[in-house]
Structure 1
Amino acid sequence: MKKLLILSLVSFTLIQCIAIKAESNTSSTTEITTKTQLEIYEKNPKLIVGIVVDQMRYDYLVKFYNKYSEGGFKRLMNNGYNLKNVHYNYIPTYTAVGHTSIYTGTTPVNHGIISNNWYDKYLKKSIYCVDDDNYRTVGAISGGNKSPHRMLTTTITDQLKLAQNMNGKTIGVAIKDRSSILPAGHTADAAYWFEGGNEGKFMTSTFYMDKIPNWVTNFNNSGKANSYLNDTWDTYYDIDTYTETLPDNNEFEGTFKGKETPTFPYNLKELRKLNDNYSLIKAIPAGNTITTDFAEATILGENLGKGEFTDFLAISYSSTDYVGHQFGVNAKELEDTYIRLDKDLERFLNFLDTEIGKDNYTIFLTADHAAVQVPAYLNSLKIPGGYFETTKFKKFVNEITLEYFNSDELVENISNYQVFLNKQKLKELKLDTKIVSQKIADEILNFDNVYKTVTAHTLQTTSFTSGILKTLQNGYNQKFSGDILYVPNPSTIPNYSKTGTTHGSGYAYDTHVPLLFYGAKISKGSSNNYYPIVDIAPTLASLLNISEPNGSTGNVILEVLK
């Protein structure tokens, strides 16, 4: 009995020791896990800077390479990671869709931004991507009733906020409202954009704040916008050295009001009088320069990159798009715009080195879409290209429905290369939507410059794995898109002037864009591997050790990460 009692006491003591040891191990494991998590976040860059250059073709990096300084594009290309084969994998390639897809890691299928403007088949009217009447203007007179509410998924900027328990700051900066609002996401501290006309100010919306900070007021009152328009726009270097582009005065360039020829120099002080005053700054290189000025002021005013948590600054350079639309992709004006943007980037990178520290920030630079060569210019070289006659097309579609269904009231709207049917009228006439859609799709192939057609029903029931119909499917949103979608011939643009260029297609000239990563936790090198644009957000999520955006369909680009 005595031996049994001693054995019991020994057993109890051993169990207690084991329990204490286990508790100690659990505590130790918890401490290690917590410490590891802290170390992971502490090793994150203090500032992420996303740069989107509006309408930048990939080949601008190569075409103008010898004109760039060592500290701008070349610094990012040669000391960061240069991905040479990045494409948009959907249609349409427009500004709002591009910015949204970059930051959400997915396409319109999920994020819901199907264009800049599109026909709302529920409201029966055209809507704008960031309009929101629930909010009002802050910092200007008008134009502030904006928010990201139409974007249905989170962004990488949202995910960073969520991962840090809403700590850290996220701010968007651009000339265009959509280019600032959509990248900054739903949880942004601020999004600022430039109001032209007689305002000449950076502004925001009550979605973010009720009053702009003092540093923004000081910037707006500094006179920078006015000083840039009281100057002359001439080429940065001798114009005779601009051998990469067409002659200065050619028939494929547009002109400003008040100037007969598209030629240097441009007297901005005079031109602003006939070109909506401060709005002129959007359409010249100074628009990029003042965006850089404001980005630097944002970092200083908000102390970005100086806190315990990671901040995110989303910058979009919009003036490259305005210049491209006006003058085309082969103009001296465009070349000079990129030379000057390179100088702005050099200044900004030096600023980041000084204010944030070389090892404390990470940058990615890409574009929201590229652009087509001016079709009239291609025609002059006997290369196919053309102009889509939208008005004639609408008449043609109505003639089809009249011939086959005895009604010319079946089409409610035609926009963005989509046909929206009048469902109420179809119901009244007891017509089947699928039958009507397929007949229209079959017949409009006979219209000049229509290359492909497909119905919404086909997109919902068939999975395309490659080609132009795959990109069309990636851009199709079942809730918001039309009943028939069609694709024009290559290098064919809608009702556009025979001068200047545009974008929107799924062809390589619109989809192929640069993608440069640079800074903390980024490898040095380059790659010709194909990557879709939706891979940017997952890559940033991996770099930051956070969750991907909730609609993300992209993959991590492993080779860019250290």
Structure 2
Amino acid sequence: MPMHSRRSLLGLALAATLCACSTTLPPAASAPATTPRLIVLVAIDGLPMRQVTGYRDQLAEDGFARFLDHGRWFSDAHYAHGHTVTAAGHSVMLTGAYPQRSGIISNEWRDPATGAPVYNTGDTAYTYLDNPTAPLSGTSPRNLKVETLGDVLRTRSPASKVIGISGKDRGAILPAGHKGTAYMYMGETGQFSSSTYYMATLPAWVKDFNAAKPADAFFKRAWAPLLPESAYARSVPDGQPWQYAGGNGNRLPAIVGDKMDGPGPRFYGNLLASPFGDELTLAFARAAVTNEKLGRRGVQDILSVSLSSHDYVNHAFGPESRLSHDHLLHLDRHLQAFFRFLDQEVGAGNYVLALTADHGFTDTPEWAATQGRDAGRFASAPSLALVNTALAARFGVDKLGRDFSGAGLLLNDKLAAEKGLNFADVQAAARDELLKLPGVETVFTREQLLGNDTSTPYLDAMRKSFDPTRAAQLQIVLKRNWIFSYRSGGSSHGSPYENDNHVPLLFWGPGYVGQGEVKTPVQIADLAPTLAAIAGLPAPAQAQGRDLGLKP
């Protein structure tokens, strides 16, 4: 086997033995250079800050605790935009720009002119390499209107490498920016691939990684609780009726691939909703660091790794669940092994780590209701039908509401004009009907979102999520503990409330970022300007955040 292939598989061996790692603290770094050779961003999809601090006593000593005990961390960090979803969060991290500037208003939306569906990283001009490309697949950063920190770096230093890796296409593509390279997990094949936007063919090391079929090594593996049963008393037990029972089931231990004859698309998809999805992603990240020689080529590089599994787990079972609790602990151990790998491969003192999340999570409504909260699910299809019925009764025109789009209701302004209707009247009537629906807190019009009112609650947050060329005319804010939901179980996110916007913002890098907790409120839009200052680079041009001044 070639040496680069053996190195590609090193990550799997390390991950499989992470529980046997020594318990030594991060190695002391020698005096750092003026700027770090490698900047590493770790994004945990769907991780609320309350889980990091709530389970702090059960963390390993060198995963999340590396930041909490030896780094600089912000305990009051929030997204300031209102529609807190995966693509929007990932677009903010390394641009410092909110969706009002970046154009990434949601994971998917409807074209206001045609009503056609748009995917945030969809681009039919490009296809996946060595893998099928379904309609609306994420293949390029075309829809991202602003530059990333990696774009700034590669403009100044074309020899630098900027690599984004994730279980989701949007988690890889958006942080990698326009001039980086994105690799994403293929749920049908269990491989990691890229698209023709970035290259004509995959590098040899990626082909070798895929040829070894590392995802297959997890077939029939058991996801078992990491700690004794008594350690999970603070979380909700398995097997609740509101916990999604498909996929890998809703009880631990869970066998990934149970009742399947062999690895296939269903198994590869289910892998992401388990600790093994992150383990596999970090194995690929190790292979990238080793084979691309990141941080060891005399120029500065950026690596972004977005770990998707926690989001899948929280969607299925809720952040209050024992399954989510245990998944976080497994993730913590995987991070510990990855950080120690970086210490050995790149050298402590040669790189800076930053860790954040794209959004937090709302508790499952059915569980929240048992705690005495007003909670529920807002179903889009029946809600659209009710609004359209009311509008038809008033104006005599069917289907004036096209569909829900992102965080809003897209109205058919062209149809209204064709029928001689005053669109302002249609918009006002639609808003009134939305406000009658269960779970709706408020609804903002396009005019409000384009105005300068800063006193109305939630308006500024929704304004930061509003790109007038892409967003629906009416933007909806649900009540606390309510979620947009397409199924009867599990939970979600997307609100302007703390449960969805309060996320980790953690840094580590001896000599670069200092140590200790910072309680001052900050925004995740501050991450890109802060990393830019550490790297000795200007902040991305459209950044709305500020440098947090972390240098000791």
TM-score normalised to the size of structure 2? 0.90
Q: Kindly report which structure 2 residues correspond to 1:256-267, keeping only aligned pairs within 5 A, or say none.
A: 256-257=246-247, 259=249, 262-267=250-255
Gaps of 5+ in 1: 1-40
Alpha carbons of structure 1 residues 538 and 280: separation in structure 2 relative to 1, 3 Å: same
1:88 corresponds to: 79
Counterparts of 2:295 and 2:173 in 1: how far apart (Å)?
Answer: 21
2:21 corresponds to: none
CA-to-aligned-CA distance 1:78-133 (integer Å, 9 cap, x gap): 11111000111112111011000111101111000111111012343111111111
CA-to-aligned-CA distance 1:45-77 (integer Å, 9 cap, x gap): 010001100000101111211221111111111
Counterpart selection for 1:45 from 18, 36, 49:
36
Counterpart selection for 1:485 from 459, 475, 479:
475
Counterparts of 1:393 and 1:439 in 2: how far apart (Å)?
Answer: 14
1:528 paired with 2:519, answer yes
1:217 paired with 2:207, answer yes
Alpha carbons of structure 1 residues 372 and 272: separation in structure 2 relative to 1, 3 Å: farther
Computing the radius of gyration over CA atoms, which structure comes out larger, 1 or 2? 1
SS at match of 2:76: strand
1:103 paired with 2:94, answer yes
CA-to-aligned-CA distance 1:459-478 (integer Å, 9 cap, x gap): 11233256311101111111
2:421 corresponds to: 431
1:235 corresponds to: 225
Q: Kindly report which structure 2 residues correspond to 1:44-63, keeping only aligned pairs within 5 A, or say none.
A: 44-63=35-54
TM-superposed CA distance for 1:151, in Å, is 0.3
Whether the 8 Å CA contact 1:229–1:269 is kept in 2: the answer is yes
Counterparts of 2:293 and 2:248 in 1: how far apart (Å)?
Answer: 43
SS at match of 1:325: helix
Counterpart selection for 1:363 from 353, 356, 367:
353
TM-score normalised to the size of structure 1? 0.88
Whether the 8 Å CA contact 1:83–1:515 is kept in 2: the answer is yes
Counterparts of 1:275 and 1:224 in 2: how far apart (Å)?
Answer: 14
Counterpart selection for 1:447 from 437, 451, 457:
437
TM-superposed CA distance for 1:251, in Å, is 2.7
1:31 corresponds to: none
CA-to-aligned-CA distance 1:500-544 (integer Å, 9 cap, x gap): 211111111100001101115111111111111111111111212
| Worse-matched range after superposition: 138-147 or 513-522 | 138-147
Code of the residue aligned with 1:131 in structure 2: it is G
Gaps of 5+ in 2: 1-31
Whether the 8 Å CA contact 1:55–1:371 is kept in 2: the answer is yes
Code of the residue aligned with 1:181 in structure 2: it is I
TM-superposed CA distance for 1:227, in Å, is 0.8
Whether the 8 Å CA contact 2:192–2:206 is kept in 1: the answer is yes
1:352 paired with 2:312, answer no
SS at match of 2:416: helix
Counterparts of 1:518 and 1:465 in 2: how far apart (Å)?
Answer: 37
Code of the residue aligned with 1:326 in structure 2: it is A
SS at match of 1:299: helix
Whether the 8 Å CA contact 1:366–1:516 is kept in 2: the answer is yes
CA-to-aligned-CA distance 1:151-178 (integer Å, 9 cap, x gap): 00001111111232x2210001111011
TM-superposed CA distance for 1:411, in Å, is 2.1
Whether the 8 Å CA contact 1:281–1:287 is kept in 2: the answer is yes
1:157 paired with 2:157, answer no
Counterparts of 2:516 and 2:165 in 1: how far apart (Å)?
Answer: 29
TM-superposed CA distance for 1:141, in Å, is 3.5
TM-superposed CA distance for 1:404, in Å, is 3.3
1:311 paired with 2:304, answer no
1:33 corresponds to: none
SS at match of 1:445: helix
1:25 corresponds to: none
Alpha carbons of structure 1 residues 206 and 386: separation in structure 2 relative to 1, 3 Å: same
Alpha carbons of structure 1 residues 252 and 219: separation in structure 2 relative to 1, 3 Å: same
Counterparts of 1:148 and 1:282 in 2: how far apart (Å)?
Answer: 23
TM-superposed CA distance for 1:333, in Å, is 1.6
Code of the residue aligned with 1:440 in structure 2: it is A
Whether the 8 Å CA contact 1:464–1:473 is kept in 2: the answer is no
CA-to-aligned-CA distance 1:347-376 (integer Å, 9 cap, x gap): 111111111111100010000000001110
TM-superposed CA distance for 1:145, in Å, is 6.3
Code of the residue aligned with 2:377 in structure 1: it is Y
1:194 paired with 2:180, answer no
2:167 corresponds to: 175
Counterpart selection for 2:61 from 53, 65, 70:
70
Counterparts of 1:170 and 1:272 in 2: how far apart (Å)?
Answer: 38
Counterpart selection for 1:416 from 406, 414, 439:
406
Counterparts of 2:299 and 2:423 in 1: how far apart (Å)?
Answer: 53
2:369 corresponds to: 379
TM-superposed CA distance for 1:498, in Å, is 4.4
Code of the residue aligned with 2:278 in structure 1: it is N
Q: Kindly report which structure 2 residues correspond to 1:250-399, keeping only aligned pairs within 5 A, or say none.
A: 250-257=240-247, 259=249, 262-271=250-259, 276-399=266-389
2:118 corresponds to: 127
1:543 paired with 2:534, answer yes
CA-to-aligned-CA distance 1:372-426 (integer Å, 9 cap, x gap): 0111011112211111132332122223322432323322222334122222222
SS at match of 1:536: helix
Counterparts of 1:509 and 1:244 in 2: how far apart (Å)?
Answer: 17
Percent of aligned positions with the same letter in both sequences? 30
Matched pairs, number:
516
Alpha carbons of structure 1 residues 141 and 495: separation in structure 2 relative to 1, 3 Å: closer
1:26 corresponds to: none
TM-superposed CA distance for 1:142, in Å, is 3.3
SS at match of 1:439: helix
1:401 corresponds to: 391
TM-superposed CA distance for 1:447, in Å, is 2.1
TM-superposed CA distance for 1:239, in Å, is 2.9
Code of the residue aligned with 1:108 in structure 2: it is P
More helix by share: 1
Counterparts of 1:338 and 1:84 in 2: how far apart (Å)?
Answer: 18
TM-superposed CA distance for 1:238, in Å, is 2.4
Counterparts of 2:409 and 2:214 in 1: how far apart (Å)?
Answer: 45
Counterparts of 2:273 and 2:473 in 1: how far apart (Å)?
Answer: 36
Alpha carbons of structure 1 residues 82 and 466: separation in structure 2 relative to 1, 3 Å: farther
Counterparts of 2:456 and 2:37 in 1: how far apart (Å)?
Answer: 40
Counterparts of 1:161 and 1:229 in 2: how far apart (Å)?
Answer: 40
Counterparts of 1:258 and 1:175 in 2: how far apart (Å)?
Answer: 17
SS at match of 1:237: coil
